[in-house]
Amino acid sequence: MSKSVSDQVNQPWSGIRDHLEKLESGVLTIEEVVDSVFEKIEQLDNGINAFTSVLHERARARASFLDQADLKKDSVPLLGVPFGVKNLFDIKNHVTLAGSKINKRNVAALQDALLIRRLENCGAILVGALNMGEYAYDFTGENVHFGNCRNPWDPTRMAGGSSSGSAAAVASNMLPITLGSDTNGSIRVPASLCGIFGLKPTYGRLTRSGTYPFCDSLDHVGPLAQSCEDLAVVYDCLQGFDKADHACVSRNLEFVAKTAAGTDKSLRIGILEGYFANPQFVDANKAVSFVADALVDDGFSVERCNLEFAEAGRSAAFLITNVEGAALHESRLRSQPEDFDPDTRDRFIAGSLLPASWYIKAQKVRKLFAEEAAALFQSFDVLIAPSTPIRAPKIGQKTMAINGEEVNVRANLGYFTQPISCIGLPSLSVPISSRDRLPIGVQLVAAPWLERHCFEVGFRLQSLGLAVSKRA
């Protein structure tokens, strides 16, 4: 690699569009892009711990093939774009760890997860598997088996979980895009703490085939990226029906990359109050107010609103997660309890002891909450709420305050995301620029199957300079 090219590829990621233009003009080759990614990982990941494996041979072979194929960007919208996946996605010839010690004993995957294949069919290059909380039951990014994933803004602080490596790899500029999973907030929480964009789509929008499960009725998968534009391109490439995932719904594809960038001032914006405006979370409330004021000044209709069932919905999601997660891991809890992270194990054990009647009641609450949200979306197109109650806590911090009570950090960083997951609504976490060093995010929430509304507002906030991913 020439010095001039090396200098260019080691610059901060400038977006998929700029990347494709450089490839087309011959300024860069795909092999050079991949080599620069590996250089960044070698330089930075010892301090971040985002990766659990790096796929040097696979990525270089793919890059060489794509360079020789002389493909055009119109047919492969992610040509030469490197990406990583949370290590619960199957990668051919590799064991799917799901952040656990126990899974190391499993056989290697026979093929890539379908979403990996879809991204590679669009020209992207898989370069590694990413750190995560054990079995995705975590909001902190701490892992006793593979080490804690650290926040690129401040390595003494949590990256957030459970898609910790997915967020940290993007925020540190090691990768431009990644895939994660979100059951109760595991994309949006780390996106908020690491200051990047993260999408939890509608439940059933994207296939989960080839991913290690956690809680079937709540599990989602989705992308993370440094910009709304890049996130939209990736989201478009991920869509499509898959009969192998029983939850995946057959619907018309909703392409947003080319349509959502326009400004639609007719969108009705609701600012969630009540549960979502807890006065003790000062930073979270300031971020929402900042967004609300900017949208009003920009000509949007913005009103205050409420979801009365939000707290009950979060409680229901907690219980459903406990029960379904415990059922999935019942045999492992009996045969090898010592191989779990103690915090994870204890939560699964608690779930195994819950009465079936409580699970049934939780599903009823979930239905009532979904009905309330559906009624609210008759009056609003996008609801705005914080992504996390606080900025990134210190690694090792065990408690945080909620309503005057010290509660567990690991379980409660999803305070604002969990109700949204409970009823499967699409939610885009956007980073809100601030003079404070540590970032925090705001959720843009839409009715089911209307991800484009989240993107429309996200694009607008980015164009106004409010939603900005500032790389460490």
Catalytic option among 36, 163, 181, 186: 186
In the predicted structure, residue 114 carries a pLDDT above the cut 80: yes
What is the rounded distance in angstroms from the CA atom of residue 293 to the CA atom of residue 298?
9
Residue 112: predicted pLDDT: 98
Q: What is the pLDDT of residues 146-162, one digit of tens each?
A: 999 999 999 999 999 99
| Contact status, residue 39 vs residue 15, Cβ threshold 8 Å | no
Task: List, in order of start, the domains of the chain with CATH numbers.
Answer: 3-247+261-463 (3.90.1300.10)
What is the rounded distance in angstroms from the CA atom of residue 244 to the CA atom of residue 58?
26
75 is catalytic: no
In the predicted structure, residue 64 carries a pLDDT above the cut 60: yes
List, in sequence order, every beta strand (DSSP E) within 91-176: 125-130, 150-151, 154-158
Q: What is the pLDDT of residues 407-451, one digit of tens each?
A: 999 999 999 999 999 999 999 999 997 666 799 999 999 999 999
Residue 286: predicted pLDDT: 95
> Which of 54, 56, 86 is CA-nearest to residue 167?
86
398 is catalytic: no
Q: What is the mean pLDDT of residues 114-131?
A: 98
Residue 194: predicted pLDDT: 97
In the predicted structure, residue 5 carries a pLDDT above the cut 70: no
What is the rounded distance in angstroms from the CA atom of residue 54 to the CA atom of residue 51?
7
What is the rounded distance in angstroms from the CA atom of residue 301 to the CA atom of residue 34?
45
186 is catalytic: yes
In the predicted structure, residue 8 carries a pLDDT above the cut 60: no
